Chain A
């Protein structure tokens, strides 16, 4: 397992380099200029100097190599310096956002917590709702509960978040007044009251996204359970006189979870990517909102960096999913 993981990690390096080049070129070649936001009253020579100051006049390949160096050396070194007070990255140029002129990673550092709390919680809530629904639906296939679960999943699948989110706002914020309509990014949780406030303002975005997540995962869980329910080993477990509880929650569930855990792991990078629509709808100032803002402003370094981080996470969680599979299923041996 260890050599497998190491081999896969090594293999990920050329993969990621190729992906980074593609991302860099794609974003770079897209039409639009970082200067389009600068008013036309700015004289051309000033405009030229501004472009030079950003490094935007360099040929694309130079900028690519520079960016690679910044991404893989300068930024980690800066982070390291921040932790241990060393000076590895002193005097080095960090990746700067063209829009705000501040380091891209500083912005990400500000935005990520919002995204992780809201979207991460939604994912967790989605899983916690989905697993019992999927398990019980499969155990009582075609029952009223199962049909209710199917309806729930269908709604979760087919209703877009901008609709369900708006609906939740109307019902729970406007009519019932239980939760605020907007997410307050400035809120600091330091006592019980602010904690309650935080929970309240998270409720609607978490419900919106949790519904969508739960729909997909509950279906996976259900079909995986059904696949296993008819297996011979289940009959063996019953023939041993084990209770239905043990048969289903031990024998069937343990097997059914293997593919579901993999799917859940593969879905985690999407949390970091944020949920653009939901973040916008509730005013959660997270990564999704940052990405949209950067795209609008032609903030090429920001878009490139975010897209590449996303690629790294996908590759990483693919590996994690494979490793988990190997750990959960004794039949899989990678070495």
Chain B
């Protein structure tokens, strides 16, 4: 196993605001996390919780305006990505950090061949001559499990299925041997069997290449199968963070608990299997001054309305290193209350 103690990526106090006509939207508030070498960090949270925006903020992928990355630091191998020039940032994107997006049907340019699109980052970042880039492109396609790779270079995206296109997207993201691969719900748009295949592929690639991965998903089931550590997001904040086993065994935040209940059980009638969390996620029009989850929380009490809970350690390790949670309730009390509530 690679040395997880040395973080490849260390994010502190990330803040992203959208300036829209209707006012500001504080999509990411004070998000901090780190990613060890070869580690797979799962990021979960429902739609609108700020998963994509946080990860795109890291490498300047958000269009600005309206997006404004206001603060924090993003240290990648000791360099702060928020402080470097746009040019330097471009030499990081696609080279040191690869990105795979949710929808493979629209993420590839329809008018260029797959070969052209895979070779682009190779020519740009690694200054490969065309011949070498072509050879590498074939290698990459083989790596992501596309048969007959040599002849597929001249194919266009529309000639490929969704699952195949996502493999191509992964090949592009991995082209320059990145330190970090960010996969933003890469399997959500695919059907279940294809999803499983892509998951298998990523596990295998991780073994082979040893890059660190951030895997964004709605699906805790997926996370359980592949992540080392999990970060739960809500309302643009990290509400809980823990090693994967610990999180499933000992969830602290009321939101995490609710999420865990939404994992469909294997048996029982379909409707009953899938529980939903009541209520809507908040739209943050200002920096939060109270717990963002309070409107949906069954444990809410007066402090929750006055103070936005900071992250605090659950298991004694420093915040971010072990298990931490951002909730005013202390765990034993929460557990007790939850038992009463569900008795």
Contacts and interface: CB of A to CB of B under 8 A. Distances in A.
Given A235-B101, A330-B156, A241 B107 contact: no
25 contacts: A231-B106, A232-B106, A233-B109, A235-B61, A235-B101, A236-B108, A236-B169, A237-B109, A239-B61, A239-B94, A240-B94, A241-B90, A241-B91, A241-B125, A242-B124, A254-B109, A254-B111, A254-B112, A328-B111, A329-B110, A329-B111, A330-B156, A330-B158, A331-B110, A331-B158
Contacts of A236: 99, 101, 107-109, 169, 172
A255 interface: yes
A127 to B, nearest CB: 21
Given A232-B101, A330-B156, A331-B156, A242 B94 contact: yes
- In the complex, which of the residues A231, A232, A255 has the most CB atoms of chain B within 10 Å of its own CB atom? A232
Interface string A158-193: 000000000000000000000000000000000000
Contact of B124 (A235, A239, A240): A240
A255 B112 CA distance: 9
Contacts of A254: 109, 111-112
Interface string A123-156: 0000000000000000000000000000000000
Interface string A209-250: 000000000000000000000011101111111110010000
B158 A241 contact: no
A251 interface: yes
Nearest to A240: B94
A240 B111 contact: no
B99 A242 contact: no
A233 B94 contact: no
B206 interface: no
Given A233-B109, A236-B172, 15 more contacts: A232-B107, A236-B169, A237-B109, A237-B120, A239-B99, A239-B101, A241-B94, A242-B90, A242-B121, A251-B109, A328-B111, A329-B110, A330-B111, A331-B110, A331-B156
B155 to A, nearest CB: 9
Interface string B94-108: 110011010100111
Given A239-B59, A239-B99, A328-B111, A233 B93 contact: no
Contacts of A235: 61, 101, 107
A255 B103 contact: no
A329 B110 CA distance: 8
B109 A255 contact: yes
Interface of chain A, main secondary structure: helix
Contacts, number: 74
A92 to B, nearest CB: 50
A241 B93 contact: yes
Interface in A231-290: 231-233, 235-243, 246, 251, 254-255, 258
Nearest to A238: B61
B60 to A, nearest CB: 9
Interface residues of A, number: 21
Nearest to A230: B63
Nearest to B87: A243
10 pairs of A and B residues whose beta carbons are closest in the complex: A241-B94, A241-B93, A240-B94, A232-B106, A239-B99, A233-B109, A330-B156, A241-B90, A240-B121, A232-B107
Interface of B: 59, 61, 90-95, 98-99, 101, 103, 106-112, 120-121, 124-125, 156, 158, 169, 172-173
Nearest to A234: B109
A139 B93 CA distance: 21
Contact of A241 (B95, B103, B111): B95
A310 B122 CA distance: 51
Interface centre among A236, A251, A329 (most CB of B within 10 A): A236
A315 to B, nearest CB: 28
Contacts of A240: 93-94, 120-121, 124, 172
B66 to A, nearest CB: 12
A251 B116 CA distance: 11
A251 B61 CA distance: 16
A174 B124 CA distance: 55
A330 B158 CA distance: 8
A248 B120 CA distance: 14
B40 to A, nearest CB: 20
Interface in A277-335: 328-331
B106 A241 contact: no
Contacts of A243: 90
